[in-house]
Amino acid sequence: MDGKGLSHRVGIEKVIYYLSRFIIGLIFLYASWHKIVHPHEFAKVIYNYKIFHSKEVVNGIAIFLPWLEFYTGVFLIIGVFERGSSLSAFILFLAFIFAILYTIYMGIDTNCGCFNFSESSKVGLPLLLRDILFLLLTSYVVFYSFRKKR
Amino acid sequence: MKRFFWEFLFIVFISIFTGMIFNTFYLEGINLKKFNPAPNIKKEAKGLNIPVLNLTGAKEKFDRGAIFIDARSNEEFKKGRIKFSFNIPSGNEEKFWEEFSQFCPPGSNEEIVVYCDGKDCHASLNVAKFLKDKGYKKVYIFTGGWNEWMEKGYPIEWE
């Protein structure tokens, strides 16, 4: 590949990286809002996944998790702590996928609570596929931000 | 690699910090120790006008020949259920109801008792509401569910 071709490829990779970072950032920012405003509802949703049984743990997660999503989203969008925020997004998506798989395996009927608390957003295969897609996008961001700053 | 880790830890730390501060001053904040996120089935059932049964009440209905509906998943149903129960899993009501409706059509005067795992599960409420909407008149929820029934040693079956 000549110098021009290489710089063209690097340019495309850069655009994909910024676009992916921005999309994931927006997803987290949007997802965090209703959870921050309605912590009681969010605690009920977490409880319904039946992964945690202690109410203190469930309440603690309901207080902390929306803010982790919020800061992850903000930092990904503005490009501060790129590595940390991309790692955070990666871990969050992994955790979500685990929760969905657990729910499907146990046959638990619950709402996702991802972007709203409506009855229509049930946990199931479409949700799993969506989160896997998000995880793949995040993997690219983690990989690129690691390579970029090395 | 280290930088990844420290930046991530910093984000976790400020998230915990902001969450705690926000929760303290937010009017709708959660009381960490007092708030119970488990569904309050009795309260919700009352709102939907569905009577709730305890273990004694459920056993009386069972002895009188009431129909029992297991609202848990089909896998759980196969592993063990209250004797003579039908399965209408929450989230998959329409599909399983079709078979049930041939045995007990809507508008029937049969007493129907819906249960799931126990006090913290929401599935029985969803299915009871579904059956009420379909036109069944005498629908009850047994809140103790499978756990209480089994612990007491009442009749069960499995596949």
Over the stretch B18-30, which tens digit does the pLDDT of each residue have? 999 999 999 889 9
By the CB < 8 Å criterion, does A34 face chain B? no
State the greatest distance between any 2 C-alpha atoms of chain A, in Å, as a whole number: 61
Q: Chain B: residue nearest A81 by CA?
A: B7
Q: What is the pLDDT of residue A8?
A: 73
Mutate to test the interface with B, among A41, A59, A141 (most CBs of B within 10 A): A59
For residue A86, the distance in angstroms to the closest alpha carbon of chain B comes to: 9
Check A70 against B8: CB less than 8 A apart. Answer: no
- C-alpha span between B72 and B74 (Å, rounded): 7
Which residue numbers in chain B have pLDDT < 50? none
The DSSP element (H or E) to which B53 belongs, if any, is strand B52-53
User: Where along chain B do its domains lie?
Assistant: 1-35, 41-157
- Judging contacts by C-beta atoms under 8 Å, the chain A residues touching residue B73 are 106-109
Distances (CA, A) of B49 to A48, B43, B44, B141: 23, 10, 9, 11
C-alpha span between B35 and A57 (Å, rounded)? 11
Q: What pLDDT, on a 0 to 100 scale, did the predictor assign at position A104?
A: 87
What homologous superfamily is domain B41-157 in, according to CATH? Rhodanese-like domain (3.40.250.10)
pLDDT tens-place string over residues A2-38 = 666 667 777 888 899 999 999 999 999 999 999 999 9
- Which chain A residues touch B88 with a CB distance below 8 Å? none
Both tokens assigned to A32: 């965090």
> Which of B1, B5, B37 lies closest to A58 in CB terms?
B37
Sheet holding B52-53, edge to edge: B52-53, B138-142, B111-115, B67-70, B86-87
Q: CA-based angle A30:A34:A37, to the nearest 5?
A: 130
**Containing structural domain, residue A83:** 3-149
More confident residue, A144 or A67: A67
Domain count, chain A: 1
At B67, which helix (H) or strand (E)?
A: strand B67-70
B100 vs B106: CA distance, rounded Å = 10
The ipTM, to two decimals, is: 0.88
What pLDDT does residue B139 have?
96
Q: Which of B1, B7, B38 sits opposite A81 (nearest CB)?
A: B7
